[in-house]
């Protein structure tokens, strides 16, 4: 309990001793600053919309009749005055403790037809004018603080008086001085104004107004001030010319009042335009506060719901400080805070920092009512902050930064009422000086004996401007690297890699190194050195035996190197006679083919080296196959034909006929005949002669007939050599299909056996 009370005491002590209450209306804020702030009043909503009069009384301490005190409204017939509306306005003002400006006594516009069409003499017109002024001003004597006695008497064109004015035409230029004299007579305490538009700053019309009023002053005419209507087009800002003009009028002893301000916007209106419009209103408030002779600011209406602008300036609107729904616009808030009222300025939002080389750019959102911003920086997060700039814009570029250092920023807004809290903190780090290397292409393939290039790019950042020396490491033997240029302060170099004809082939990873400004950076380049396009040919098997009357195959392999991609065609040479070679496929862009050797049955036996050629891409490569023609499975050029010459119950002869194309160096012909019942040997013979030995063997079941080439004998080429086996008897015909023969012979050094039956 005790503890809690102590804390409460500490808290109470920590509270500020004075609480400052900010004015929450334009009226309160302006009154506090000694300013008259007012608006022109439209009678229709004045009489019919309570929110209109509520707003009017709450926000303004002076009012003016937009139309109700003009000549035609107050003086509809020569002897008739209508004070209803003017009386109501003055009564309202007094009830609400507001001042009144009177607008306007003598103007070329909004004058009644009875006057302009009345054919009055000069003296009569002067008398009418005097009567009007005496009656109207006199009625409100002491109650209307200031009168626009003469309105818009100066021409837009030539800086002269407006000569087409009714008053000028019917009285002459003296009408102006007369009007002021009558008004002064009617209310000696009222401030008397000359009021005009487009005469606020510099220019011929401003000069003409100045000359007019200085003439009146010199004549001793009672004139107290000049009204600047201030009908402006967005965007509008107060210029030095306005201050200069206000000061030269002050030098005549004259006040200036802003009497009819509005800032019309080309429709449709954007948020940006509303912000600009706020600056116009804020400027005029600040102008009034800073000029000792400008203490009244009246806007021509106050809600966009009732403004003369849309009806008089096609396509324009939104010229006032409350919107159509009586909601305060940015212009209202800007005026209020320029008057030192309203809530304290909020801290800026949306602060963002972007680091560049040796600079950090800051942007933030505008704060309504702010006149400027303090940009504060720290090198540790959270401060302490130092104000490094005071700006009126919502961006700032800090160029007093060191690359690689982190900076912390906050921004505050201020106006004449004070400074806001700081915005949220942002930080940024301008990049440290650095560079990076890259190679394009990053992988390169070159053929021995040629060269290739890669573009080396040096990407500089953080203001890195040193010269960079380039080198290449990891080069395979026989490859050289040159950089053009080898050192540069620029951003590129060309690397040429050249491979000798004997350079090591294969893929290598090169390291490209750049050295500069104390930094070393690398990039990798993959280099592939290829041999020249070529191929080799091999055969598997490379030694092959093909039997007569048969085939044998070998697989041919193409080994391609150096990117050789051509089609290769195959052929064979050195084939033994009777042997053919076929290739499948006969040409290929692939890597293999099959060669098949086929030997005819009569192909001479023996061995030969066959050359296989592969041709493609202008290159011919060969492989050798040792080919042996063998008899296995063939006949050696010998044809054996069994025949039956006779077949009857009493006589049978079965023969072997032999044709040979080569020499036979050994021969054995064996015929075995079955013995069926009653069948016996009859005889045997041959057609060769004495070179053949013949014999037979008889068993109960068979008779074997034997013919043999005598040792050392050779049978040359011959046809139809016959070897016959004969039987006889009275038995049955034996089935010859059971009779067999075996012929064994040697030709070409190879032995063959042919068997069969009859
Ligand atoms: C305008 C009113 O706002 C309109 O309602 C009326 O129809 C015409 O006059 N300069 C002046 C003002 O001195 O009296 C004018 O008022 C606007 C221009």
What secondary structure letter does DSSP report for 736?
G
Regarding the beta carbon of 229 and ligand 1, being less than 6 Å apart is answered: yes
pTM assigned to the model: 0.52
User: Tokens 């309570």 — which residue?
Assistant: 50
Q: Residues with Cβ < 8 Å from 752, sequence gap 6 or more? A: 631, 634, 635, 636, 638, 744, 745, 746
> Nearest Cα to 168, choosing from 247, 108, 249, 228?
108
Which of 85-99, 347-361, 415-429 is least confident? 415-429
**66 alpha carbon to ligand 1 midpoint, in Å?**
7
Confidence band (pLDDT; 50, 70, 90) for 18?
very low
Q: Count of CB atoms within 10 A of residue 166's CB?
A: 17
Alpha-carbon distance of 649 to 729, in angstroms, equals 7
Catalytic residue among 59, 152, 255, 654: 152
**65 alpha carbon to ligand 1 midpoint, in Å?**
10
- What's the mean pLDDT in 600-626? 90
- What's the mean pLDDT in 435-448? 96
Alpha-carbon distance of 109 to 659, in angstroms, equals 149
Confidence band (pLDDT; 50, 70, 90) for 4?
very low
Confidence band (pLDDT; 50, 70, 90) for 12?
very low
Residue 660's H or E segment, with its range, is: strand 651-660
The fraction of the chain above a pLDDT of 70, given in percent, is: 96
User: In ligand 1, which atom is closest to the CA atom of 259?
Assistant: 13
| Pairing assessment for the beta strands 519-530 and 592-599 based on DSSP bridges | unpaired
Does the pLDDT value for residue 484 go beyond 90? yes
Tens digit of each residue's pLDDT (9 = 90 or more) over 705-717: 999 999 999 998 8
Confidence band (pLDDT; 50, 70, 90) for 9?
very low
3-state secondary structure at position 708: strand
Catalytic residue among 260, 276, 653, 654: 260
Alpha-carbon distance of 233 to 319, in angstroms, equals 8
273 catalytic residue (yes or no)? no
Does the pLDDT value for residue 729 go beyond 90? no
- What's the mean pLDDT in 337-344? 83
Regarding the beta carbon of 310 and ligand 1, being less than 6 Å apart is answered: no
Cβ atoms of 205 and 154 closer than 8 Å: yes
Which of 543-557, 564-578, 714-728 is least confident? 543-557
Cβ atoms of 442 and 525 closer than 8 Å: yes
| Pairing assessment for the beta strands 255-266 and 225-228 based on DSSP bridges | parallel
Which of 175-179, 309-313, 357-361 is least confident? 357-361
66 catalytic residue (yes or no)? no
Radius of gyration of the chain (CA): 64
Q: Which two tokens stand for residue 327?
A: 């909601």
Regarding the beta carbon of 435 and ligand 1, being less than 6 Å apart is answered: no
Tens digit of each residue's pLDDT (9 = 90 or more) over 181-235: 999 999 999 999 999 999 999 999 999 999 999 999 999 999 999 999 999 999 9
Q: Which two tokens stand for residue 591?
A: 């890597």
Q: Which of 592-601, 634-643, 696-705 has the highest average model confidence (pLDDT)?
A: 696-705
User: In ligand 1, which atom is closest to the CA atom of 195?
Assistant: 13
Regarding the beta carbon of 151 and ligand 1, being less than 6 Å apart is answered: yes
Cβ atoms of 318 and 275 closer than 8 Å: no
User: In ligand 1, which atom is closest to the CA atom of 301?
Assistant: 3
Alpha-carbon distance of 520 to 470, in angstroms, equals 10
Q: Residues with Cβ < 8 Å from 406, sequence gap 6 or more? A: 379, 427, 428, 429
**305 alpha carbon to ligand 1 midpoint, in Å?**
16
Kindly report the average pLDDT of the chain as a whole number: 93
Which of 52-61, 136-145, 336-345, 684-693 is least confident? 336-345
Regarding the beta carbon of 457 and ligand 1, being less than 6 Å apart is answered: no
- What's the mean pLDDT in 479-502? 97
Rounded to a whole number of angstroms, the distance between the first and last alpha carbons of the chain is 140
Cβ atoms of 544 and 628 closer than 8 Å: yes
Does the pLDDT value for residue 332 go beyond 60? yes
Regarding the beta carbon of 260 and ligand 1, being less than 6 Å apart is answered: yes
Tens digit of each residue's pLDDT (9 = 90 or more) over 255-285: 999 999 999 999 999 999 999 999 999 999 9
- CA 489 to chain CA centroid, Å, is 30
């Amino acid at each position: 309990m005790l503890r809690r009370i102590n804390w409460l005491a500490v808290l109470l002590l920590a509270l500020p001793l004075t609480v400052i209450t900010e004015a929450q209306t334009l009226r309160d804020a302006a009154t506090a600053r000694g300013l008259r702030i007012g608006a022109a009043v439209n009678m229709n909503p004045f009489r019919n919309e309570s929110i209109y009069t509520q707003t009017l009384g709450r926000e303004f301490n002076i009012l003016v009749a937009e139309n109700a005190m003009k000549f035609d409204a107050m003086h509809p017939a020569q002897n008739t005055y209508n004070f209803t509306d003017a009386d109501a306005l003055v009564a309202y003002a007094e009830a609400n403790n507001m001042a009144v400006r009177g607008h306007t006594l003598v103007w070329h516009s909004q004058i009644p037809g009875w006057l302009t069409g009345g054919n009055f003499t000069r003296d009569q017109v002067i008398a009418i004018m005097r009567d009007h002024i005496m009656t109207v001003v006199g009625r409100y004597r002491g109650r209307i603080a200031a009168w626009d006695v003469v309105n818009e008497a100066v021409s837009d064109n030539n800086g002269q008086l407006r000569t087409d004015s009714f008053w000028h035409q019917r009285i002459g230029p003296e009408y102006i001085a007369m009007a002021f004299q009558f008004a002064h007579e009617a209310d000696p305490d009222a401030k008397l104004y000359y009021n005009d538009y487009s005469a606020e700053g510099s220019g011929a019309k401003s000069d003409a107004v100045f000359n007019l009023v200085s003439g009146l002053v010199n004549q001793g005419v009672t004139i107290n001030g000049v009204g600047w209507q201030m009908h402006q087009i967005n965007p509008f800002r107060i210029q030095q010319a306005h201050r200069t003009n206000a000061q030269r009028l002050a030098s005549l002893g004259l006040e200036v009042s802003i009497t009819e301000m509005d800032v019309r916007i080309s429709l449709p209106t954007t948020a940006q335009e509303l912000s600009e419009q706020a600056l116009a209103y804020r400027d005029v408030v600040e102008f009034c506060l800073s000029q000792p002779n400008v203490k009244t600011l009246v806007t021509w209406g106050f809600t966009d719901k009732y403004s003369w602008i849309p009806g008089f300036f096609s396509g324009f609107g939104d010229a006032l400080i409350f919107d159509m729904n009586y909601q305060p616009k940015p212009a209202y808030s800007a005026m209020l805070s320029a008057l030192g009222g309203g809530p304290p300025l909020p801290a800026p939002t949306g602060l963002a920092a972007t680091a560049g080389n040796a600079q950090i750019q800051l942007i933030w959102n505008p704060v309504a009512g702010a006149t400027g911003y303090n940009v504060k920086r720290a090198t540790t997060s959270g401060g302490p902050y130092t104000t490094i700039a005071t700006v009126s814009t919502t961006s700032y570029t800090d160029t007093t930064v060191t690359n690689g250092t982190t900076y912390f920023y906050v921004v505050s807004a201020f106006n004449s009422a004070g400074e806001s809290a700081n915005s949220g903190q942002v930080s940024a780090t301008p990049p440290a000086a650095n560079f990076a290397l890259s190679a394009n292409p990053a992988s390169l393939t070159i053929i021995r004996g040629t060269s290739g290039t890669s573009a080396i790019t040096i990407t500089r950042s953080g203001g890195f401007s040193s010269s960079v020396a380039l080198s290449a490491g990891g080069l395979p033997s026989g490859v050289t690297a040159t950089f053009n240029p080898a050192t540069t302060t620029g951003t590129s170099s060309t690397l040429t890699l050249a491979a000798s004809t004997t350079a090591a082939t294969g893929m290598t990873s090169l390291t490209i190194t750049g050295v500069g400004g104390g930094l070393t950076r690398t990039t990798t380049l993959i280099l592939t050195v290829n041999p020249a396009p070529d191929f080799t040919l091999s055969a598997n098997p490379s030694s092959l035996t093909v039997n007569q009357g048969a085939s044998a195959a070998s697989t041919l392999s193409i080994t391609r190197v150096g990117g050789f991609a051509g089609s290769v065609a195959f052929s064979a040479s050195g084939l033994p006679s009777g042997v053919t070679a076929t290739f499948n496929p006969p040409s290929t862009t692939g890597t293999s083919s099959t060669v098949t050797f086929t030997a005819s049955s009569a192909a001479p036996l023996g061995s030969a080296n066959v050359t296989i050629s592969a041709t493609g891409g202008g290159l011919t490569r060969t492989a050798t196959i040792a080919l042996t023609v063998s008899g296995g499975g063939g006949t050696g050029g010998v044809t054996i034909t069994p025949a039956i010459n006779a077949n009857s119950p009493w006589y049978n002869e079965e023969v072997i006929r032999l044709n040979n194309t080569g020499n036979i160096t050994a021969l054995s012909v064996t015929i075995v005949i079955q013995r069926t019942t009653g069948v016996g040997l009859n005889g045997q013979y041959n057609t060769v002669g004495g070179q053949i030995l013949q014999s037979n063997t008889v068993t109960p079941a068979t008779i074997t007939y034997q013919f043999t080439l005598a040792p050392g004998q050779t049978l040359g080429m011959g046809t139809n050599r016959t070897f016959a086996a004969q039987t006889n008897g009275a038995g049955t015909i034996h089935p010859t299909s059971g009779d067999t023969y075996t012929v064994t012979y040697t030709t070409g050094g190879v032995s063959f056996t042919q068997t069969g039956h009859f």
